[in-house]
Amino acid sequence: MTLLGNTFFWTFFFMIGFIASLEILEDVGPQFAERIFKHKIDAIWLIVGYVILIILFIRLLRLFGTTYTWTANALRNGALIYISTKLDHPKGLQVLLGATFLSFWPYWHFNIWSALGFAGTLGLLLLLQYWRHWIHQKNWHLCLTLVVTSVIFWSFDMLSYGYALDETIGVTSCFIVVMLLAHSYDHLLRYRKQQTHELVYDTQHDALTGSRSLKKFTSDFSRYHHLSLKGQVPAVHLVMIDIDHFKQINDTYGHLIGNDVLQAFVQNCEGYLDTIPFPCTLYRTGGEEFSIIIAGGATEREAQQIIAGYRMQLKQFFVKTPTQNIQITVSAGITKITAKDAENKAVIARADANLYQAKRAGRNRVVTDTETS
């Protein structure tokens, strides 16, 4: 019982920490590594390097006699089996398994059969990676895979280390339970991550059109305003856009068609902005009111040309409805963040004033701080 309890305890808490640390490494590792090394490193290679260090550390613990072979093998087997079903990078897994094989030099005192058996168990992990999508399709696929793989790994360990059969059966059973719990924990982490991602997306995007929301606009514009005042970013322009006569579209065709118009406009506008050489982001800030932040140092003339170009493109754009195609036009006001703009509302008020000047001048036009088109 002492053997089983010790193996279960150390393997369980090791796997929980191992899985959690891999999640952290996947999420923030590349950014952290870039800050330190001033070079982008793919998360896959950070994970491979991390697991290799874990395997080497476990190996050293055994070589220095600070842990039992049962515990060391359980930790190693757990880490390798888990990562082989999660790592979506064949070359990365090959590097990991190659390093693991080399770390076991001199291979049970140059026992060729043990070395070949160890190579065979590592080769099995390549098959697990190849079939990882099938393994995660259904719970019983995962359970069957974990049971079969665990039995094969611990059978090899029994033969190589001379373990007793009854002890091996007991440890293997404990190991299977731990691995099932570990994968359940992994599923929980993934579920919570997905829920968090969906929550963040919902708070940052408009539910109807999918464009970025007013809340996201407020956050992004505040950041750009702050950095612009400090001189840490090149020129930033704010564009406020209205779809002309949108109330008339709603009154004539109904609100469902009006929703279709908004959705079509956002899709078309974002497609156009993707072709612009400056970073441009579209936000829905009201019913038919939208805002665009043009960053990257565009001049006033370039910002005006971007929006005027889109206004011209709309001449070829029609929103298809069951009864007829609807053509839309837009009015826009553009202004630049300046050093005198102590608050966000000063910039927004100026862009809004330019927008309403465009609407008073007959709509379907663009007004900047210095010119009208």
> For the chain, what is the mean pLDDT?
92
Query: What is the pLDDT, as a whole number, of residue 221?
Result: 95
Predicted pLDDT at 129: 94
299-325 pLDDT, tens digit per residue, is 999 999 999 999 999 999 999 888 789
- Reference 147, options 177, 190, 108, 168; nearest CA is 177
CA distance 291 to 284: 6
Q: How confident is the model at residue 373 (pLDDT cuts 50, 70, 90)?
A: low
Set 34, 288, 289, 302: catalytic member: 288
Per-residue pLDDT for 372 more than 70?
Answer: no
Please write the tens of the pLDDT for every residue from 320-329.
888 789 999 9
Task: Assign 108 a pLDDT band (cuts: 50, 70, 90).
Answer: confident
Q: Which of 28-42, 81-95, 116-130 has the lowest mean pLDDT?
A: 28-42
Active site residue 302: no
Mean pLDDT calculated for residue range 278-287: 95
Q: For residue 288, what pLDDT band results from cuts at 50, 70 and 90?
A: very high
Q: Which two tokens stand for residue 345?
A: 């509302």
Q: Give span(s): CATH 3.30.70.270, the chain.
A: 214-367
Q: What is the CATH code for 214-367?
A: 3.30.70.270
pLDDT at residue 126, as a whole number: 95
Kindly report whether the peptide bond that precedes residue 277 is cis, defined as omega within 30 degrees of 0: no
